[in-house]
Amino acid sequence: MTKVPGCVIMPLTTEEVQKIVKVCNRYKVPFV
């Protein structure tokens, strides 16, 4: 079984990465 991502996010700054990780953790969304 292969899963595909629901979306792709391409942050440009470290701050954007931090915000994305916080939101993913809050809603228990896996990320790579």
Domain definitions of the chain by residue range = 1-31
pLDDT by residue, tens only, the chain of 32 residues: 688 888 999 999 999 999 999 999 999 999 88
Query: 26: buried, middle or exposed (CB in 10 Å: 19+, 13-18, 0-12)?
Result: exposed
Alpha-carbon distances, residue 5 vs 15, 26 (angstroms): 22, 18
Global pTM value: 0.75
pLDDT of residue 4: 87
Dihedral sign, CA of 18, 24, 25, 31? negative
pLDDT of residue 1: 66
pLDDT of residue 20: 97
